């Protein structure tokens, strides 16, 4: 050996016997010379049997420690596996709940769709009833105006030479214009209502259009009301023509009646007709 240790000459201290522990080898590498030097320096006065015994005990302790570490890690691994299995069970339960929730959502969607269709039909029916109510009111007003027009026309014919004839002519004209305006408004209202109903049917293909298509007009309105108003227009026009011809035949014409008749022709849009009558005279 390159270095000699001698207690007698003071180059070495007497090594007090100590047990070999695992930390004694932590700084060793693969060089066996360092191990020999370590044993010589610290255990050269110890017997081989005691060193073997201590190394055996140290090896046993190290093996036990290693086994304990493996067992602890194994238990941790088992616990981790159990937690993973529990997590998988939880995930499966969540997936199942999500599937059930999706089914419930689909059912609720169908219910809300049915409710939406019903509400749509209710609103359409309500709109139709409001339109029908408006048409009924207009037809009632129109009926009263037509009845009053007929009565006034009869009185005008009976009293055409009377002083009140001019005032009754004005009343008759007012009723005629009122009937004409109500007819125009009613026809536009019916037409717009039907067009709007058709547009709603086209724009709402998801709804039951068979129940949504309501038409306000009826054969009564198309046949009776329209024909009655057309008859009144012809009757009033014929009556005006008769009056102005009578006035034109008179030697002394009533200027007030002539002016009133000319204004009435202008109001009803028959200027060409009255000019034709005047020019023929």
Domain-embedded: residue 66? no
Domain-embedded: residue 28? no
Domain-embedded: residue 82? no
> How high is the pLDDT of residue 164?
65
Domain-embedded: residue 64? no
User: What's this model's pTM, rounded to 2 decimal places?
Assistant: 0.52
Domain-embedded: residue 186? yes
> How high is the pLDDT of residue 194?
59
Q: Which domain holds residue 139?
A: 124-195+219-280
DSSP secondary structure of 6-67:
-TTTTSS---------GGGGTT--S-HHHHHHHHHHHHTTS-HHHHHHHHHHHHHHHHHHHH
Q: Name which of 191-195, 234-238, 249-253 the model is least confident about.
A: 191-195
- Residues 6+ away with beta carbon under 8 Å from 63: none
Q: b/e map of 4-20 (b: 16 or more CB within 10 Å)?
A: eeeeeeeeeeeeeeeeb
Domain-embedded: residue 155? yes
User: What's the total number of domains in the chain?
Assistant: 1
Cα dihedral: 148, 153, 158, 164 (round 10):
80
Domain-embedded: residue 20? no
Domain-embedded: residue 156? yes
- The highest-confidence range among 5-19, 42-56, 106-120, 132-146, by mean pLDDT, is 106-120
> How high is the pLDDT of residue 39?
72
> How high is the pLDDT of residue 118?
93
């Amino acid at each position: 050996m390159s270095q000699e240790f001698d207690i007698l000459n003071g180059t070495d201290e007497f090594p007090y016997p100590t047990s070999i522990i695992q930390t004694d080898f932590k700084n060793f590498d693969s060089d066996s010379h360092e191990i020999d030097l370590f044993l010589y320096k610290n255990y050269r006065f110890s017997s081989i049997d005691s060193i073997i015994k201590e190394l055996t005990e140290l090896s046993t302790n190290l093996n036990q420690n290693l086994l304990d570490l493996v067992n602890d890690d194994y238990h941790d691994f088992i616990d981790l596996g159990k937690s993973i299995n529990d997590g998988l069970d939880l995930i499966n339960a969540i997936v199942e709940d999500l599937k059930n929730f999706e089914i419930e959502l689909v059912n609720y969607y169908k219910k809300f769709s049915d409710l939406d269709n019903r509400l749509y039909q209710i609103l359409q029916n309500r709109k139709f009833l409001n339109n029908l109510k408006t048409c009924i009111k207009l037809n009632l007003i129109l009926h009263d105006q037509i009845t009053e027009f007929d009565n006034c026309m009869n009185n005008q014919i009976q009293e055409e030479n009377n002083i009140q004839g001019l005032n009754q002519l004005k009343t008759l004209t007012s009723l005629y214009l009122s009937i004409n305006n109500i007819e125009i408004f009613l026809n536009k209202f019916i037409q717009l209502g039907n067009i709007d109903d058709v547009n709603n049917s086209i724009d709402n293909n998801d709804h039951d259009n068979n129940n949504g298509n309501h038409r306000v007009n009826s054969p009564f309105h198309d046949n009776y009301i329209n024909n009655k108003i057309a008859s009144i227009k012809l009757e009033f026009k014929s009556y005006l023509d008769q009056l102005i011809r009578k006035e034109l035949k008179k030697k002394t014409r009533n200027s007030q009646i002539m002016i009133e008749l000319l204004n009435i022709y202008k109001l009803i849009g028959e200027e060409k007709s009255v000019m034709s009558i005047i020019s023929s005279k």
